[in-house]
Amino acid sequence: MLYDTPIFRLMGDRSLLVELGDDISPAVNQCVQELFTALDMQPIDGVRELVPSYRSLLVIYEPLKISPDDLKRAIGDTYDHLNQTELPEPRTIDIPIVYGGEQGPDLAYVAQHHHITPQEVIDYHTRPTYRVYMIGFTPGYPYLGEVPDAIATPRRTTPRILVPKGSVGIAQKQTGIYSVDSPGGWQIIGWTPVNLFDPQAQPPSLLMMGDRVRFQAITLKEAFQWQAKRL
Residue 29 pLDDT: 95
- pLDDT over 90 for what percent of the chain? 84
CB 39 within 8 A of CB 51: no
The per-residue pLDDT for range 205-214, each reduced to its tens digit, is 999 999 999 9
- The pair phi, psi for residue 150, each rounded to 5°, is -65, -20
pLDDT, position 204: 93
pLDDT digits (tens, 9 = 90+) for 160-179: 999 999 999 999 999 999 99
pLDDT value at 231 more than 70 = no
CA 1 to chain centre: 19
Flag the least confident range among 19-28, 103-112, 123-132.
19-28
Which sign, positive or negative, has the C-alpha torsion 176, 136, 155, 187? positive
Mean pLDDT of 50-67: 95
Could you tell me the pTM of the whole model?
Answer: 0.91
> Among 113, 215, 118, 102, which Cα is nearest to 163's?
102
Residue 28: predicted pLDDT? 94
- Checking if the pLDDT of 88 tops 90, the result is no
Map out the domains of the chain with their CATH numbers.
2-84 (3.30.1360.40), 92-229 (2.40.100.10)
Average pLDDT score over residue span 95-123: 97
Least confidently predicted of 58-62, 134-138, 222-226: 222-226
